[in-house]
Amino acid sequence: MTQIPPEDYSDDELLAMLKPVQLAELDRQIGEMFGAEGVDRVEALFAMANVYSMRAAERDETSALAMLQLAAAMRRRAQAMADARS
C-alpha cells in the first residue's frame, strides 16, 4: 500500500487529521501571531500559508505534514477573516 505524500492532501483533509484541541490551539496561536495593528492580517496570513506550503516540500514527510496542516489552518482563518469583512 502506497502512502499519499503530504502535499497531495487537501486543506480539509489536513485539518481533519488534527484533534479539535490541536486545531483550537493552532487557531489561538495564529490569532496571537497576527494580532498586531497596522498589518493587513488577511493578506499576510495567506502569504504566510503559501510560504509554509512551499517550504514543506523541503522537509521530511512528518515535518512537511505539520507545516501543511499549519498552512491549512492559516488559510482557513484568513478566509474566515475575509468573509467577516464582507
Q: Check residue 26 and give its pLDDT.
A: 87
- Give me Rg for the CA atoms of the chain: 13
Q: Check residue 35 and give its pLDDT.
A: 62
Four-CA torsion 51, 57, 58, 64, nearest 10 degrees? 90
pLDDT in tens, 21-80: 998 988 888 877 766 553 467 888 888 899 899 899 889 999 999 999 999 999 998 888
If one compares 32 and 2, the residue with the highest pLDDT of the two is 32
Distances (CA, A) of 33 to 26, 28, 60, 76, 78: 10, 9, 25, 15, 13
pTM score of the predicted model = 0.76
Q: Check residue 17 and give its pLDDT.
A: 93
